[in-house]
Chains A and B, each alone.
Chain A
Amino acid sequence: MNLTRLLAAAAASAAGLGLLAYTSAASLAYHPEDGARLRLSWSARPERIEKCRQLSAEEQAQREEHMRQRVECEGGFASYALRVEVDDRSIGETVFRGGGLRHDRPMHVLRDFPVPAGEHRVRVRVTRRETTDDDAAAFAQPVVPDADTGLFAGRAQREAAERARSARAAIPPALLLDTTFRFTPRQVALVSFDAERRVLVLHGRGGETAGRPR
């Protein structure tokens, strides 16, 4: 290799490596605007909406012993309307429901809304779309004495406890978060569902604001 070629090769190699280093970490715009975001993110179980009726003693007698339910329920899972307002102006409205073909799986919400930096009134409203009949009556009927003895002892209590548990596991029929929040530039304020307190919560830097069930 003569000197000229050596110098040319060195220069070309240096240029190639420089280009490699540049393309390996080129600064690429991601969120160039100075705005902020309101993010809604939670997972919750939809409520089961059922119509229940008590089976008569004759109906129960026709069934196998292990199939003798006192109360039979039919129904589906609730869907929910979500409305997001910033400064009394709606910025998003949608309907969400449980996952899976029968919508019986948890529903997942993940939405981002751009919001200009500054102080804003934020209102997030979740409302169940279906109305329910009060089916408590079906469960409140006097217990059929034969069915709740022996193998079935304590069944009424267990059924009541199970219904209470699943009702608590589901999202309440109505939720409202209504608060004023100061968005700093590039901040993401997060609204999530607190399953313990059963309220929507807005997390920002320096604390959180809880909403309330309506």
Chain B
Amino acid sequence: MTDSSEGQQPASRRREWMAFLFLTLIVLPALAVAFVGGYGFVVWMSHVINGPPTAGY
């Protein structure tokens, strides 16, 4: 039992680091960009349907 868990230690350490880096460097940034882009896209489509914004004056 102890043997095998000690044998797994470097493998799980590697796995956790890979998961952490993959999540923070790739998945979450991609999601953030996708959300902002998706929001922009929805607003764009609303402009296409309702006409350009009448903000300001």
Interaction A to B: no
